[in-house]
Amino acid sequence: MNQQMEIYKTLGISEAVYAYGETYLRQLEARFSQIDQVAEYNQLKVLSAMQKNRVSDVHFTPTTGYGYNDLGRDTLEQVYADIFHTEAALVRPQLTCGTHALAVALFSNLRPGEELLSPVGKPYDTLEEVIGIRESVGSLKEYGISYRQVDLQKDGSFDYPAIEKAIHEKTKLVTIQRSKGYQTRPTLSVAKIGELIAFIKKCKPSVICMVDNCYGEFVETIEPSDVGADLVVGSLIKNPGGGLAPIGGYICGKKEYIEQAAYRLSAPGLGKEVGASLGLNQTLYQGLFLSPTVVAGALKGAIFAANLYENLGFRVIPNSTESRHDIIQAIEFGYPEGVIAFCKGIQAAAPVDSFVEPEPWAMPGYDSDVIMAAGAFIQGSSIELSADGPIKPPYAVYFQGGLTWYHAKLGILKSLQQMVQEGLVQINPIVIN
């Protein structure tokens, strides 16, 4: 028996499950090598931006209070702007999460009487309250900003005639969500987003095109800002924080829109000038530096899981061979025990709280019990290996992340082990050429 299998055994993986995993892994070599190439490209893109901006240890010096002349913060924003090829960027711990960054971008660039359009269907759950799709205090709707939505067609493509009709004199900003989030529609490739933006700009050149880039950063070699997006927005406890950023969000884009956002985040007149970095700069730089390889590990995990579970007969979204535009993997089990066993396995593989057993629970904002597995260094960080699933049909689990490929691999093998132990699936000895 080889040494590798020995150490997996001490972590509770049986020989059969290990062998099953290895068999599928051998088929994935070409895909993994493609992922590594994207990571290499993005690593160099990040490095080149850091070198161009002469990042130095002076940039790691903490500031406090107002944070005037925070050189590290201002340089980090220039590094982001160079990576995303935008005129400017706002990258701050004061942007508390992805939803906040998106809300700031929206509230700052829309005025009463104007309209927001989503041409890609319903946005991410938390945005419903920001926009006022679900009644909520302080929404855009309360400020007299209206919202219109055009759903994707059944096959996931854009409904161009309906989009053209939905754009009128009040339309000011279009929001395009790259990742599918918790929906079953496909995630949009950057190229697809580019086609959509070109169409929208043809209908109305003055409209601002914003992309919710959450979970998409560094999955491809280009970003939505390379194909015409005026604003790209995301969370630092997802991809670009590299697992190190303890908080934060980013907004990259045209200078005038970023300035608007800065005046909204702090105050009119103050803008980007204030906002102490409180000693977080070094972590934000280092996380960004690591992000391309972290994202590559997470992607390998997602593809590995898709292959294992698809071959066990479950529906997986995206499927085992589809190209990837974000790091999220969904698996439909069709019965609650599958969701629960999967999450238990992910939890048991964690570096933190591996001894905890997750259980389905009622959560605010959900209409069914939900089970969540996460043993993360940073609370709520979903670039770290994590999984969750509502206990309702189709009994799907959504999972993402993994700071290293090896951890993601262990998590997926642990989930399978749990399924096997509970008699939910059987692995037959397989022979594949």
Ligand X SMILES: *Cc1c(COP(=O)(O)O)cnc(C)c1O
Where are the strands (E) in 151-305, listed by range? 171-177, 208-212, 231-235, 249-253
Closest CB 429 distance from ligand X, rounded Å: 39
3-state secondary structure 260-286: HHHHHHCCCCCHHHCCCCCCCHHHHHH
Contact indicator for 321, 311 with CB cutoff of 8 Å:
no
* Residue 181 contacts ligand X per CB under 6 A: yes
Instruction: Please choose, out of 52-60, 139-147, 208-216, 303-311, the segment that lies near ligand X by the rule CB under 6 A.
Output: 208-216
Rounded least distance, CB 214 to ligand X, Å: 3
Count other C-beta atoms under 10 Å from residue 204's C-beta: 15
Q: 38, 50, 90, 97: which one contacts ligand X (CB under 6 A)? A: 97
Tokens of 184: 């079953």
* Tokens representing residue 350 in the block: 């964690």
315-317 and 208-212 strand pairing: unpaired
Rounded Cα gap, residues 100 and 107, in angstroms: 10
Closer to ligand X by Cβ: residue 99 or 417? 99
Among residues 117, 196, 200, 214, the one that binds ligand X under rule CB under 6 A: 214
CA distance 157 to 180: 13
Binding mask 235-274 for ligand X (x = CB under 6 A): x---------------------------------------
**What's the CA dihedral at 168, 163, 110, 145 to 10 degrees?**
80
Q: Count residues near ligand X (CB under 6 A).
A: 12
Q: Which is nearer to ligand X, 122 or 204 (CB)?
A: 122
Q: Which is nearer to ligand X, 320 or 386 (CB)?
A: 386
Strand partners, 399: 329, 387
C-beta closer to ligand X: residue 21 or 234: 234
Classify residue 138 as left (phi > 0), alpha (psi -120 to 50) or beta: left
Specify the stretch interacting with ligand X by CB under 6 A; choose among 44-52, 93-101, 266-274, 354-362: 93-101
Instruction: Supply φ then ψ for residue 407, to 5 degrees.
Output: -70, -45
End-to-end CA distance of the chain: 22
Considering only the stretches 104-112, 211-219, 290-298, 413-421, report the one whose residues sit in contact with ligand X under the rule CB under 6 A. Answer: 211-219
Considering the complex, state which of residue 124 and residue 218 has its C-beta at the smaller distance from ligand X.
Answer: 124
Binding mask 45-84 for ligand X (x = CB under 6 A): ----------------------------------------
Among 80, 107, 124, 342, binds ligand X (CB under 6 A): 124
- Residue ranges in contact with ligand X by CB under 6 A: 97-99, 124, 126, 177, 179, 181, 212, 214-215, 235
